[in-house]
Homo-oligomer: A and B are copies of this chain.
Amino acid sequence: MKNRLKVLRAMRDWSQQDLADRLEVSRQSVNAIETGRYDPSLPLAFRIADVFEMPIEEIFERD
């Protein structure tokens, strides 16, 4: 899966730590997801969608 986390984060001028705090996960998780080392769980994907106020499909893409 590809994702637009880095761009969406940049648009809001949030650091990885800022986003991690909002998602209540570790900064390393945000980094790993952004750099494509692994995909988030479904519950975390929903929280990401909540934080960015967008549907999951607009944040993640099949690759």
Residues of B near A62 (CB, < 8 A) are 43, 46
Q: Which residue from B39, B46, B49, B56 sits with its C-beta under 8 Å from A41?
A: B39
Contact-residue size bin, chain A (C-beta under 8 Å from the other chain): 10 to 19
Q: Tell whether A11 is near chain B: CB-to-CB under 8 Å.
A: no
A42 & B60 in contact (Cβ 8 Å cutoff)? yes
Return A8 CB to nearest CB of chain B, in Å: 16
Chain B positions within 8 Å of A55 at CB level: 55-57
Please determine whether A1 and B57 come into contact, CB atoms closer than 8 angstroms. Answer: no
Residue interface mask A46-59, B partner, CB < 8 A = 1: 10010000011100
Which residues on B sit within 8 Å (CB–CB) of A1?
42-43, 46
